[in-house]
Chains A and B, each alone.
Chain A
Amino acid sequence: MMKKTAGLLMILMLLITVSAGYADDSNSMKEDGFSTSYSYNYDYWGDVQMTPDPYRVLTVIDSSSLGLEQLDNLSINNPQGLFARGGDVYVADTGNNRILQLNLDGEKVTLTRIITEISGAEPATLNGPTDLFADEEGNIYIADYNNHRVIMANKDLNLMKEFRKPTDATFNQSSEFLPSKIAVDVAGRVYVLATNVNKGFMKYESDTSFTGYIGANPVKIDMADYIWKRYFMSREQRAASESFVPTEYENLYIDEKGFIYATNTVFSEWELKSDTAKPIRRLNGVGNDILIKNDRYPPIGDLYWKSESIQYGPSKLTDITALDNEIYVAVDKIRGRLFGYDSQGVMLWAFGTKGNADGAFNRPTALDHIGYDLLVLDGLKNSVTVFTPTEYGQLIYDATDTYLDGDYDRSAELWQEVMKLNANYPLAFRGLGRSMLRQEKYLEAMDYFERAHDRDDYGRAFKQYRKIWIEKNVLWVVLILAVLLLIPLILGRIKKMRWEVIMHEHSKVRH
């Protein structure tokens, strides 16, 4: 009897431990092999360091908070696109074939209007709009996916321009024009990411003429693949394999300076680890990637993952946005995490998780920003989460901004504040080190740079320190050098003399 109870108890305890192991994985992703807190960062060794939260949830915008249910009983359904400018937020409510225009003022959200049709367009109604853009004057660009067009409408929703399938020979005329993501630069040029196009982004001039592609991956010739296809595949197989064309880019964003930030989710693991995949790119006018990567690890989101699978593979960065200070933020749809990088490619913070709580995501689809606030659209939760920086996050931004403005002393003060909140922050050490270097406190600067593993700046500080040290101790240095040089010289002379004396005695004896 005793034995049976003990056995039952053991099984029960085993179950409890196992279930406890599973219970808290909503936040930490234990079976991924790498448990993290909500907010974290990677240190020089790539180890996860927990950090204070850089962002907090300001408000969550969903159908009920907008009062959509009372209005027309159509709650937001599978939203794909998000755009924010000033206080205006546009949501592409793809499932309901409409655009929601909201106004965000602090925590207060009001529904400005619902856009369902563009007068003058043919057809006037939207059909599965996937993305949109609004320029300074309030003109709206809409990627009208299922109507195979990109519409530009003015403030009053009258049709201005229409961008359609190019008649150009470079575009496969047998396939449809399916614009999924769009971005517009200052000159009114429209960049379109279209499904089934693998030549990069399609570029339209402001007069709606198609002028080519930008940012295509250079073609890699795989010898083995070529031989296999050429000699071992039947004609039918070859045709079938060619019709499968993955879209390589996932999303795009045009920053203040007119460069295109793009994310890419089609790659294999080894490409990511050797940094040939480049999941985040910054394309210049001719489509070359000019993203700066000065950190030890390239900007790829999470550095570790268990294996390539739908749920636990490498980060799939589904959207990107660039703040005004060249800090860019990307969102991972696999684990619902946001990653912030500075202009040098150094990770500033990472936070987020999967789940239903505020601040967690089910399937993030789009990301945009207003000032330092971040807006994340969730395609499954049908909501927009608005994040605002915490004191910690704001300090990081302020320190970065003041440094870029050249106010180094103020920047150092701010980094000092950051360090009070997070003593494991390499950027804070580097910022403080630079300030110390400017104040000619070389030894302190060296200490900070060593903590930040900043080799170049350490060298700069150390050179000065060494120079001063030698100037101070020049007497001793010369003395020691002289002694080191003279002692062997004298010893050699003595040996020689002794040898000569011996030889002399020897010769005397012989004679």
Chain B
Amino acid sequence: MSTVKSVIEPTAAERAERRRAWLDRYGKSLRYALHVITHPFDGFWDLIHENRGTIAAANTFLFLFLLTRVLKLICTNFQFISAPIQHINVFEEAASLLLPFLVLCVANWAMTTLFDGKGRFRDIYMGMCYALVPYILIQLPMILVSNMLTFEEGSIYTVMLSLSLIWCVFLVFVGLMEIHDYTPGKTFIFIIVTIVGACVILFLMLVFFSLLSDAVSFFVSLYREIVFRLN
């Protein structure tokens, strides 16, 4: 009864209480990422099955990942990355990572759901976002570090970068294993299947959009023709 009442007419105190609870849970789920990346086997299991993660935290990580990527291109010292800043479109760069990420998540969900994977799409998305955390944690400070090193001392920089990537790949692997309750061999096979699936999705999208643009241009020219005739 009280829940119904609060939905209809939440008091200010209740609202504040709810916001505080949400923030508390959000903060905890953010901090939980540190546990996930250091104890991936338990971490991913609890993330999904014990409801320790939140979509809000996952979104945050994804956003930070894209931000890191863009900042890396722009702020890394020119000795290590010299991107042609005059030609870079920040949103394009972000989208070029976001799109494959989402397509891979969808492809993984589409494939595993047919072969008794336990994860829902929500779980896969959340797990993959949590797996990106080492990238953020290592590469964001490395942008700063790159400005304190000379190129000769750059080996530490490259080692750290590859470390972050290896860590991320490992987390993706373990994450998928725990989310779907698969054996390692099956996980490996389904990672390959996912990549193939993503390619198929991209191909279909390409076909769809090119047909769509053809259709649109047909109607546009039809409209122009009619307008021209009417005048």
Contact = CB atoms under 8 A, between A and B. Distances in A.
A453 interface: yes
Interface stretch (B46-54, B144-152, B210-218): B144-152
Contacts of A453: 78, 82
A459 B87 contact: no
A450 interface: yes
A463 B150 contact: yes
B84 interface: yes
Contact of B79 (A45, A459, A466): A459
A463 B148 CA distance: 9
Interface string A459-499: 11011001000000000000000000000000000000000
A466 B148 contact: yes
The listed residue with most B CB atoms (<10 A of its CB), out of A44, A450, A453, A462, is A462
- Nearest 6 interchain pairs by C-beta: A459-B150, A45-B84, A455-B79, A455-B151, A459-B151, A462-B150
A453 B78 CA distance: 7
Contacts of A450: 78
Interface string B69-92: 000000000110010101100000
Given A45-B84, A459-B79, 13 more contacts: A44-B82, A45-B86, A45-B87, A450-B78, A453-B78, A453-B82, A455-B79, A456-B151, A458-B79, A458-B151, A459-B151, A460-B150, A463-B150
Contacts of B152: 459
23 contacts: A44-B82, A45-B84, A45-B86, A45-B87, A450-B78, A453-B78, A453-B82, A455-B78, A455-B79, A455-B151, A456-B151, A458-B78, A458-B79, A458-B150, A458-B151, A459-B79, A459-B150, A459-B151, A459-B152, A460-B150, A462-B150, A463-B150, A466-B148
A484 to B, nearest CB: 13
Nearest to A451: B78
Interface string B128-144: 00000000000000000
- Which bucket holds chain A's interface residue count? 10 to 19
A456 B78 CA distance: 11
Interface in A368-391: none
Interface string A419-463: 000000000000000000000000000000010010110111011
The listed residue with most A CB atoms (<10 A of its CB), out of B79, B86, B148, B151, is B79
Contacts of B84: 45
B20 to A, nearest CB: 25
Nearest to B147: A462
A466 B78 CA distance: 17
Contacts of B87: 45
A460 B153 CA distance: 12
Nearest to A44: B82
Nearest to B78: A450
A45 B78 CA distance: 13
A463 B84 CA distance: 25
Contacts of A455: 78-79, 151
A450 B151 CA distance: 13
Contacts of B82: 44, 453
Nearest to B86: A45
A292 B148 CA distance: 31
A463 B152 CA distance: 10
The listed residue with most B CB atoms (<10 A of its CB), out of A450, A453, A459, A460, is A459
Nearest to A459: B150
Contacts of A45: 84, 86-87
Contacts of A456: 151
Interface in A167-205: none
Nearest to B85: A45
A450 B78 CA distance: 7
Nearest to B83: A45
A460 B86 CA distance: 27
Contacts of A44: 82
A453 B82 CA distance: 9
Contacts of B78: 450, 453, 455, 458
Interface in A295-336: none
A471 to B, nearest CB: 15
Interface in A41-100: 44-45
Contacts of B151: 455-456, 458-459
Contacts of A462: 150
Nearest to A462: B150
A2 to B, nearest CB: 11
The listed residue with most A CB atoms (<10 A of its CB), out of B84, B150, B151, is B150
A455 B153 CA distance: 12
Interface in B151-165: 151-152
A45 B82 CA distance: 9
Interface string A34-45: 000000000011
Interface string B42-76: 00000000000000000000000000000000000
Nearest to B87: A45
B34 to A, nearest CB: 14
Contacts of A466: 148
Interface in B77-120: 78-79, 82, 84, 86-87
A460 B148 CA distance: 13
Contacts of B150: 458-460, 462-463
A1 to B, nearest CB: 14
A385 to B, nearest CB: 36
Nearest to A45: B84
